[in-house]
Structure formats: structure tokens, C-alpha cells
Structure 1
Amino acid sequence: MYDMDSVDMDPEVARGLFEEGATLVLLGVPAGTELGIDYKSWQVGPRFRGVKMIPPGLHFLHYSSSNAASCGGETGPRTGLFLTLKPREILLANWVPSEEDLDFSASQNQEEVARVRAGLQDLDPFLGPYPYEVLRKWVSLTDKVSQELASRLQPLSGRVCAFSDVIPEVQLTHTKDRVEQNLPRNDTECQSMKEGLDKLPKMKPREGTALRFSPIPKKTYPPGATPAQITQCSMDLSYALDSLLESNHQQQPLNVLGELQFAFVCFLIGNVYEGFEHWKRLLALLCRSEVAMCQRRDLYLGLIAVLYHQLGEVPPDFFVDIVSQDNFLTSTLQDFFRFASGPEVDRTLQKRAEKFKAHLTKKFSWDFEADPGDCEPVVVELPDGVTVD
């Protein structure tokens, strides 16, 4: 948690943010609510009315309701939204208890915003300063995410939710409905977990609540491909990568790095597991595209920079609990480093990849030299002393 009164900031920086920074006025947020912006969070007190001195640009506001009456004051699932704030902007929101969410519709009322701005001096003691010490870290994680890209990728509802709001694909009110869908009846005893899962209806996200990531191509080869071409396109995913870029980032191919950052932030800060899954698939597509690596120098120089900052921010046990479960990260990066050392790859990219490999080997003790014919690359020893085979 974060103490909003413990900000140590250079006086010149503080003066600049005081004059040019944006302000989030968040009224009615219950005491005990876990609320954060970007890479910091805190539990708000009864005097909390918002956040001031926010640097203009893209930010991620996130919050979790708290049940103060429960044992330990348990918090609910995290909800977040991406905001692009302008200099001196005031964004006004009211807490809606029945929804346990913030309603920003008041920001559309210019008279209300003007009233708040006129009384900002009286409100100032109740506003916590933006945690400036996290700004550099936040920018390094999101410098490729534009306002337009964030708007396009986040749900139509505008909310990034840790747990998806799902509904049945087909309404199965009666037993006869289940029979028509070839599903077992609910009143029969389950003989196995699979049978129990089969009894559950298929679910889909409620309209407007799903993250809108670029679909990863299911076919990695062109129509009418020969068996030899299919094999080649399965080993080198450049065709699939080009298809994704053409369909989703045709005007700005480097936006795919912004999407990689967006997915990572949704997972790391928003607690959305779907973000991790998309990050994983998109990273594999980028790292296993040998021809693209020779043709898209700037894209891959950017990828190294993005990964450098991302892997520098995850907690050590992240790799043990999630990433190293199937060793996907070390095996994916091993392919990347192998392709990056190819004779047709730009020399600057080769050198940058070599330095990045050395950095990861030193930081995480990952072995990228293992023979891929024997097994997946091995995580030798992680910083916390845990060994994963």
C-alpha cells in the first residue's frame, strides 16, 4: 500500500505538476477502498477526495471495493480504466455504491466541472499527490501505448475487470433445453470432474466487457500452401505475424508493441489473466518469426526494449508460479536469440540481442544454450533460490 502523504518530490517538479498537472476528483469513495493509479495503490481514508498533480498523458486508474465488516476487510476484484489526461484537466467522478464503481458522467457537465475548479483550493487538502516516483517506471511500461490504441483495445464498457462478466452462450432454463444442446442433466450424479464440467453451460463475456485484442491467426500458412510450405510456416511464423499486422496494425506496425505493453499492464496491474495469455501468444508470434526479424529491424529493436522493462518489473516468484510452468518464456526467447544471430539480421539488432541475452542470463540464471533437441531450455536457478527443471 501507499501513503499518499509521503511523497518526496523536487520543488521544481512539484511546482510544475501543481501548475500543469491534471486532477482526478473522486467523490464518495468509501474509506478502506483499495485505489491506485499506474504502479501504486493505497487504501483511502475518510478524507480522500481524489488525486492531484497528475502528469499529463496516459494513466491506469484502478480500484477494489472493500467489505469493512468482513474478517480482515476483504477487497473485491480489481476494476480499472485507462485515462488520457490533459494539462490542468479536471476529471470528476462519483462513487456508485450499488455498482461499487465510479461514474464519470459528471465530467460531461461543464457547469459542475467549473464549480469544482472554482473550489479546488478548498478541496486541495483532501487530494493526494500523484506518486511521482513511479512515473519513470510507468512510462517505461507504456511508452508505446497511444490514447487511440488504448481506446481500441479496452472493452467497450471502458472498464478492465479482473474477473470477466460472463453469461451463458445459450439460455438453458429447462431440462429439455439441455437435452437439445446434448448436455447431461443437472440432477444426475457426476462420476468424474470432466463429466461435472461438461454439465456446465458454455459461457461468453457479456457484450461490451471483453478486451479487444488483435486475434492471433489460427492458420500460420497461406491458402493453398504445399506441405513443405506448411512445415516452413510452422517453424517460422512470419506469415502469421504479417497477417496480424496487416489486419490490425497496417498503418502503424509498431503498434503491436503497444498491444504487447497493454496486455502486460492489464495482467500485472489489472490482475486480468486474459492479458497474460494474450501477452504470451503475441510474444511467441514475434519471437518465432525469423524472416520478419530480418525485414523489420525497428520492430525488433523496440521489442527488446519493451521486454527489458517488462521483465525488470515482475516479482521473482512470477516466473515460478506462472511463467515457468511450461518453460514457455525461456524456450520462446531461445528461439528469438537463435534467429537474431542469423547472418541476414541487422548487425545492430544482433548486438542488442546479444546484450539482452547476457542481461537475462545474469539476472535470472536462465540457460539459453541448452540443446533444443534434448528438451526445452532449463531455468537453472531463480533469484529466490528455487530451481525449476
Structure 2
Amino acid sequence: MMSNEINSDTAKMLFKEGAIFVLLDMPEGSEFGIDYNSWTTGPNFRGVKMIPPGIHYIYYSAKGEPGQSNNCGIRTGFFRNFKQREIVVRKWDRSLEDMSPEDVSQADKERVEGNLQELDQYLGAYPYENYKKWISLTSHISEELLGKLQPECGAITSVTQFLSPPSNSEMRRQSAETLAQQENTSPSDTRKKKKLPQLQKVPGTAIRFTKIPKQRYPEGATPQQITVYSMDSTFMLDSIIQSDYSKNKRGILGEIQFAFICFLIGQVFDAFDQWKKLVHLMCGSEKALNSHSDLFMDFIAMLHFQVHEIPEDFFVDIVSANNFLTTTLQEFFSNLEAGNGDIKLRERGLKFRDHLTRKFKWDFTTEPDDYAPVIVDS
């Protein structure tokens, strides 16, 4: 097996051709990370150098000012496609208590570039030993996909940002009266129904994940056809590919990888939910194993890397929560065993099943409770 440690030739190449991310005025004691690697910033931290060109995920959790509570629990990040020899300069905005959303002005960037030799000693080297692992987890993420999925504001936060509920009593009264007119009830009854504030996400802050179709069958389907479609997710998968990934169907794998990184590193629960939905959709698409065999070959390889990178403590939650992963994969392997997909796909899929059984002791032969016959007492 080849070592992931960086050799002198690679180091020289990255020093010359790699990208640089400069971050000015980051509060000392904050967390800063790129891909699989994170650090607590010291007084001289100015960024990272020798970044391999390509897609990377930068994230941070800022330490509050002296006398303020530490808000390091909130992690913010963003994906960026770094170009060869690119120098990106951002600055910490004390008024926002956040990183500036845009690169610094061209004049400021030129000043930094002119002082790069002096700045070099304050830049940490990209930890190349984890780079191959990162590549395996982002192989289907493109710059175009990032433009489609990342929030309009450009930042991905671990805590959902909501608009503050209105505090003006008159606004609340008018809202209740409006709802009462819509529901044909009295304002007082409506207030009782609406005790909890109706929180709305701050516009532009949500990840723009693909919406999963709710209808599992085409319009005009007969009752018999609806029954057949309800047992197979292929119609839903094809609908997503046609509407969102018609130019490149592997984009759906990129979205699964994007969601995986956002929940694994970005700590975004909504991303975990999207990852589960898309994995479940793929595993339940029986007929698609024949029409998209090449897509599922890549799907298996992608899952192989993802399963091995989930932290052990989090992994327990994923498997035990309604037995999601084992039940979902069991459906996938059963569809392969039924003769769907070409020979190479079936061989790879069943080898993957055997590997999971050996490594994690998962049982894919016992019928899940959801599928077991219901016993009715007489």
C-alpha cells in the first residue's frame, strides 16, 4: 500500500503550484479547519499554504471576545474550488464576529502578495497525509454543483438561522386576525392553536438541496401501476436525474457526497437527513439497477469510503436509529440478488455486502422487522 505521507518532490510541487488561503485577524483560540484537519489558532496564525488544487471545505468556530461567552460550538464553513497557485485572502470582521463573506479588495490582496515571503512563516502547511482520503469523499463534487447547492449567502452553518419572531403585539394581533379569516375561526381560537412562534429561516442561509419527489408514480397511473411503482423508487430517482442532473447523472452522487461532508465535518443535521433520504432512494430503486448500472457501480464505491469514515460514536446512532443503514442496504443487496443490474454490478455489490458483514458484523440475511409477517392474535 502506498504511503500517504508527503515526500520531498510532492512537497516542492505543492509549495510551487499549491494554493494559499490567508485569513487575517482571526481571534486567537478559535478553531480553523480545512477538509479533515483543524487547529486551534495561535497569535501568529495567518492561514494555510500548499493546498492541492481542487475542491476543499474551509470551516471555523470563532472564540468570543474577552468577557463574552465562548461561541465555538457554532461551526461555519464553505466549499471552494482552489485553482493552481491561487492566493485567496479573507479578513475577520470584528463587527460581524465572522469571516468576511468576500475576498479582500484587489489592493489589499496585492499588499499581501507583496509581503508573502514574510507571511510564509505564519502559514500552516496543508496536511497532505489526509488528502487521498479527502479525494475519495469528494470525487463527484464539481464547481458547478457547489454553485447549485451552497446557500446563497455562501456560508454553511451548523445551527439553522431563524428570523427573530415579531415582538410588536399589534403585529401578532393582525396575524391572528388574518389567520382567523383564513380558517373561519375567532382570533382567540387561532392564538391558542398558534402558541409556538412560527419560525422562518433567514433567507439565503439554507443549503439548496434537491427536493425529493413525494409522488412515487407518474400522473394517470392506474391503481395496479401505483402499487408497482410504490414498491420501487426508480420513478423518483429518474425524476430527480431528469430535472436536476440531466447533463450529468453522477451529480446526484456529488450531492450525496456534499451532504455527507456537511454533516460529518460541517455538523449540519439537515445535511444528515438529506444524505439518508438520497441513500435510501438509491438503494430502493430496483429497476434503475438495470438502466443505470454504471451509476450504481460508482454509488457502491462512494458508500464504501463513506461508511469507513463515519466516527464510531456517530456510527452507532446511524445504524441504531430505526436500523436505517443496515435495513436500507439489505434492500439494495436483495435487489441485486434478484438478478438486477449487470454481472459486474452484482459482483461488486455482493462483495461490498460481504465486506460489511466481516468488518462490522452486520447481518443482511435476517428479515427486517418492517418486512416480517404480522401475527394477529385470534
Is structure 2 residue 341 aligned with structure 1 residue 342?
Answer: no
- CA-CA distance at 1:102 after TM superposition: 1.4
* 1:360 matched to 2:356: yes
2:304 counterpart of 1:308: yes
* Pair 1:280-2:285 in alignment: no
Paired letter, 1:79: T
Pick from 15, 26, 30 the counterpart of residue 29 of structure 1. 26
Tell me the distance in 2 between the aligned counterparts of 1:241 and 1:70.
Answer: 52
Conservation of the 8 A alpha-carbon contact between 1:168 and 1:201: no
SS of the aligned residue for 2:200 comes to strand
**Percentage of matched positions with identical amino acids:** 45
Contact 1:178–1:185, Cα closer than 8 Å, also in 2:
no
Cα distance in 2, alignment partners of residues 304 and 173 from structure 1? 55
Cα displacement (A) at 1:376? 6.3
Q: Is the 8 A contact 1:168 1:202 kept in 2?
A: no
TM-score normalised by L of structure 1: 0.87
**Distance change (3 Å), C-alpha of 1:173 and 1:234:** farther
In the TM superposition, residue 105 of structure 1 has moved relative to its aligned partner by: 3.4
Deviation at 1:68, TM superposition (A): 6.6
- The aligned counterpart of 1:139 is 135
The code of the aligned residue for 2:154 comes to: G
Give me the whole-angstrom Cα distance separating, in 2, the residues matched to 1:130 and 1:224.
56
Instruction: Work out whether residues 22 and 87 of structure 1, in 8 Å CA contact, stay in contact via their aligned partners in 2.
Output: yes
Alignment partner of 1:53 is 2:53: no
Point out where structure 1 has 5 or more consecutive residues left out of the alignment. Answer: 1-6, 378-389
2:196 partner amino acid: L
Q: Secondary structure at the match of 2:163?
A: strand
- 1:319 maps to 315
Which of 84, 87, 90 does residue 84 from structure 2 map onto? 87
Q: Specify the alignment match of 2:214 in structure 1.
A: 218
Native 8 Å contact 1:91 1:104 kept in 2: no
CA RMSD of aligned residues (A): 2.5
Shift of 1:172: 7.3
Query: Does the CA contact (< 8 Å) of 1:33 and 1:64 recur in 2?
Result: yes
User: For 2:242 and 2:166, how far apart are their aligned partners in 1?
Assistant: 34
Structure 2 vs 1, CA of residues 106 and 222 (structure 1 numbering), >3 Å: closer, same or farther? closer
Task: Pick which of 174-183 and 294-303 moved more.
Answer: 174-183
Match of 1:11 among 2, 8, 32: 8
Q: Distance in 1 between matches of 2:154 and 2:319?
A: 28
2:151 is aligned with 1:155: yes
- Counterpart secondary structure, 1:105: coil
The alignment's TM-score, normalised by the length of structure 2, stands at 0.89
Correspondence for 1:176: 173
C-alpha displacement of 1:106:
4.1
Match of 1:203 among 177, 199, 202: 199
Tell me, yes or no, if structure 1 residue 371 matches structure 2 residue 367: yes
Q: Structure 1 residues 227 and 172 mapped into 2: Cα distance closer, same or farther (>3 Å)?
A: farther
Task: State the alpha-carbon separation in 1 of the partners of residues 83 and 57 from structure 2.
Answer: 14
C-alpha separation in 2, matches of 1:376 and 1:100? 51
SS of residue paired to 2:154? coil
| SS class of match (1:278) | helix
Change (3 A) 1:169 1:225: farther
In structure 2, the residue matched to 1:382 is: none
Q: Is contact 1:27–1:93 with CA below 8 Å preserved after alignment?
A: yes
Contact 1:80–1:159 under 8 Å retained in 2? yes
Give the Cα–Cα distance (whole angstroms) in 2 for the partners of residues 85 and 293 of structure 1.
35
Change over 3 Å in CA distance of 1:222–1:375 after alignment to 2: closer
- Give the Cα separation in 2 of the matches to 1:231 and 1:376: 16
d(CA) in 2 for partners of 1:337, 1:37: 35
What is the CA-CA distance between 1:56 and the residue it aligns to? 0.6
Structure 2: runs of 5+ lacking an equivalent: 181-185, 373-378
Contact persistence 1:92–1:104 (CA under 8 A): no
Query: CA offset at residue 152 of structure 1?
Result: 1.0
Native 8 Å contact 2:63 2:71 kept in 1: yes
Task: Work out whether residues 22 and 85 of structure 1, in 8 Å CA contact, stay in contact via their aligned partners in 2.
Answer: yes
Inter-partner Cα distance in structure 1 for 2:188 and 2:97: 36
Residues 331 and 376 in structure 1, CA contact (< 8 A), matched pair in contact too: no
Please state whether the residue corresponding to 1:230 is helix, strand or coil: helix
Distance (whole Å) between structure 2 residues aligned to residue 60 and residue 54 of structure 1 = 11
Residue 115 of structure 1 and its aligned partner are, at CA, apart by 2.3
Q: Which amino acid aligns with 2:7?
A: D
SS in 1 for 2:176: helix
Please state if 1:42 is matched with 2:48.
no
- The match for 2:183 is none
Deviations along 1:150-187, whole A, 9 cap, x unmatched? 1210101110111121227999744523533359979x
1:321 positional shift: 2.5
Query: Closer, same or farther in 2 for the Cα pair 1:70/1:168, shift >3 Å?
Result: closer
- The equivalent residue for 1:264 is 260
Question: Does the 8 Å CA contact 2:31/2:38 hold for their aligned counterparts?
Answer: yes
